[in-house]
Chain A
Amino acid sequence: MRLPNWISSHLAALRAMLVFTLLLGLAYPLLMVAIGQIPGLKDKADGSLIYDDKGNVIGSSLIGQAYTDADGAALKQYFQSRPSAAGDGYDPLASGASNLGPENIVDTLADPANPEESGAPSLLTQVCARSVEIGEREGVDGSRPYCTDAGVGAVLGVFRAEGLTGAITRVVSLNEDCASTPAPFMATYEGVTVECAKFGEDYAKALVTPIRGDAPADPAVPADAVSASGSGLDPHISVAYAELQAKRIAKERGMDVTAVEKLIEDNTTGRFLGFMGEPAVNVVELNLALDKARPYAS
């Protein structure tokens, strides 16, 4: 019996689907798994796992870790990784980035009447807050452009008489909540007194105006230290950020700064062939080397 054309072509499609599923969906990946078991490749195919003396897995040299205590505060005896947007930080079950845009600069304020609505900091405020925190921890200037000294985004909402133009009628510091700010970061803007922000007030008509301030364009706290990575699992920090932390580590562990710097150097990968990527310090391996060189006694 001759089948109609459309049925026979669907039958061919079905058989092709099954053949390709067996070949490409099972044989090929399983062959690659088998090849991955060859000595030399096996460690890598299994995830570059790191074991302790007793044979327990303590991490992967490719997957970053958070060196914080149960409350999320930095453990000062360890080199700190970058901020992470993966789950609560460095959670491989929720890899990913913040996906916040370049003009994500206005915070959502907390609702005083509803403790569930704790507000959400903008990307700018997150960056400013991290910079101030790291500056304090490492004993350097944590100021950055468009940030207040207190570590929130320096952003004004400017109301003008005719909307976009005309005399300034009112100025609000959008990220400084009256509930927690003693005084806005600047007293006046073009002669008009700056107010703090109140939850529930409508600032939609204000022109959002970030204030550059006089912080250096090249801040003391490096860029990678205040920005979340793409994967949220970045095992690396820049050489600059590692060197910034060396003094604190040396002090906490009673080591020589040069010894710490030597460890940083040992755990730095340069650009591949001199031009691919950026020099990077592997924090996971560096902290392990640190524990080995000078175990920390709290």
Chain B
Amino acid sequence: MSTTTAGYVFIAAMIVALIAVYKPLGDYIYRVVTREKHRAPERFVYKLVGVKADTEQTWGGYARSVLAFSALSIFFLYGLQRLQEHLPWSNGMAEVPAALSWNTAVSFTTNTNWQAYSGESTMGHLVQMAGLAVQNFVSAAVGVAVAIVLVRGFARKLTDRLGNFWVDLTRITIWVLLPIAIVGAVVLIIGGAVQNLTAETVTQAGQHITGGPVASQEVIKELGTNGGGFYNANSAHPFENPTSWTNFFEIFLILCVPFALTRTFGRMVGDKRQGLAIAGVMAVIALASVLLVVGFENAADGTVPTAIGAAMEGREVRFGTPNSSFFAAATTLTSTGAVDSFHDSYSAWGGGVLTLNMLLGEVAPGGVGAGLYGMLVLAVITVFVAGLMVGRTPEYLGKKIGAREIKLASMYFLTTPALVLIGLAASISVPDNLTSMQDKGTHGLSEMLYAFASASNNNGSAFAGFSANTDWFNTALGLCMFFGRFLPIIFVLALAGSLAKQKATPASEGTFPTHKPLFVGMVVFTTLILVALTFLPVLALGPVAEGLF
């Protein structure tokens, strides 16, 4: 089998695997988040936390809980890094500097996992386990919880109660993420991922073989679409991703929950076809993007790739070019940001598609939870556009999309473009910042655009030749991560609150059906047009100019 054919079979096998888990996983999450009865382990957690599990919150109360929990998480993570040398399992690592601790704390709490540090030389085992890995779980659970609240907004009527954050957080963590993580970690250990508490083993020849609780962190890093690597080389490191089949497994972990959540959504609104339609939109965009990246990288355009003869710079032999390119597409289509090959060395067009994936808002299928709520907001905008065309009040899932709803949806959509473009423009107008670019000119602009797209969309991957570890960029990118995470969450919760208050409008003959291919096509085009209009100028100056000349 040729390399190219094997690459396409790999993609086909992934599609089959995702279809296989779509129904069982989606239905399972549905049961976890809708179950009336609280099981014993949950009740134990509620007791420790001190919450009344049967009291539901308004959208405002829910938002306050999300923000309180996230703020606490940032402070806790910051403190843990600052104090690490006085704590056990520090492996002799010194305290992490203040600016870097802050950046890392925000980065992991916002599910971004932008890493301005190198794991093997900065973070001891305790910070990795008790700090970073914990956020990998809970920041993912927060994303799913917010998505579930938005779905409740559609599903419920005439109420201001949208669920209890602590219940959602606990259930998603201990019934969805933790069991999959435990099984997945064992699978990765079988593949060869490291899982011990050894600092390092020095060989006869003086090579330092590192150790650590890697497998347990690797699995949740992918499953929770987090992306922060135990090691600097991230999932390219043989101890994180040892074989070609662990590579398949990791891509699967990245994609399984975001896709399955559309099934949960369909079940919750009482019409599985609605979930399939949303999954269809995600699948169309994702497949197109994967094929483009794989195609561009197989072609290996550009001076250096032509000289090398294949796009092998920054890639591992065991994965090869097509599978590495698939991983790169998957990690940017979701909010993961883990890498098994290094994006800065991608061809101009391949790297451009990766940037575009993030600029799409990471909705195909997006981060766990974040992808679903992002896509539902786009669906709301689409029915609004469709409503304008025929002159009817738009409806989605029996809820009228009025002025307040469309304002919230618009503000959601505009947040990240504003952060990306303002951040980029402000940065580029300060001459000192240009020294962070590896190459002047178009590739340098692509690097900086990638950094802001990654931070604002909470992705976390980088064109790593770009020197982002300066005061300016640590601050600017930190702010992008923070606002890029929490402003959209507030808008989504507010949208959910306003939808839940409405009564349900029964579908009539004039209602635009939102489960048919026409709707799928419209959402795809709405997404592409909105993003194209917003970002075409900057893409033309960066990746497009780079690819053409």
Binding site for B on A (CB under 8 A): 5-6, 9-17, 19-21, 23-26, 28-29, 31-33, 35-36, 41, 44-49, 52, 56-60, 62-65, 82, 86, 90-105, 123-124, 127-128, 144-147, 153, 210, 212, 217-219, 222-224, 226-238, 269, 271-278, 280
Contact = CB atoms under 8 A, between A and B. Distances in A.
Contacts of A146: 303-304, 306-307
B339 to A, nearest CB: 7
B209 A60 contact: yes
Contacts of A52: 204
**Interface range on chain B (Cβ under 8 Å from partner):** 35 or more
A147 B233 contact: no
Contact of A56 (B194, B204, B215, B247): B204
B317 A100 contact: no
Contacts of B121: 93-94
Contacts of B102: none
B245 A20 contact: no
Given A48-B242, A101-B463, A230-B315, 16 more contacts: A9-B68, A10-B72, A13-B72, A15-B50, A28-B181, A32-B216, A57-B202, A93-B121, A96-B118, A97-B314, A99-B464, A102-B304, A103-B443, A222-B309, A230-B233, A276-B247
B511 interface: no
B438 A94 contact: no
Most buried by B among A45, A233, A271: A45
A5 B189 contact: no
Interface string B322-366: 011000000000000001111011111000000000000000000
Contacts of A231: 231, 233, 236-238, 316
B371 to A, nearest CB: 22
Interface stretch (B26-34, B128-136, B377-385, B411-419): B128-136
Contacts of A35: 185-186, 189, 195
A65 B205 CA distance: 10
Interface in B186-213: 186, 189-198, 200-205, 207-211, 213
A277 B319 contact: yes
B309 A219 contact: yes
Contacts of A101: 304, 344-345, 438-439, 443, 447, 463, 465
Nearest to B211: A47
B215 A59 contact: no
A76 B134 CA distance: 48
A272 B245 contact: yes
A47 B201 CA distance: 9
B305 interface: yes
A238 to B, nearest CB: 6
8 contacts: A12-B49, A47-B196, A47-B239, A99-B344, A102-B303, A103-B439, A146-B307, A230-B236
Contact of A91 (B182, B195, B208, B438): B208
Given A276-B247, A276-B323, A95 B201 contact: no
B349 to A, nearest CB: 10
A63 B209 contact: yes
Interface of B: 1, 3, 6, 9-10, 13, 45, 48-51, 61, 64-65, 68-69, 71-73, 76, 118, 120-121, 129-131, 133-134, 137-138, 166, 169, 173-174, 178, 181-182, 185-186, 189-198, 200-205, 207-211, 213, 215-217, 231-233, 236-239, 242-245, 247-248, 301-310, 312-320, 323-324, 339-342, 344-348, 438-439, 443, 447, 463-465, 546
Given A24-B137, A41-B190, A123 B209 contact: no
B14 to A, nearest CB: 10
Contact of A95 (B13, B173, B233, B305): B233
A21 B130 contact: yes
Which 6 A-B residue pairs are closest in the complex by CB-CB distance?
Answer: A277-B244, A230-B236, A25-B130, A278-B320, A102-B302, A95-B233
B195 A94 contact: no
Given A103-B348, A230-B342, A275-B9, A13 B68 contact: yes
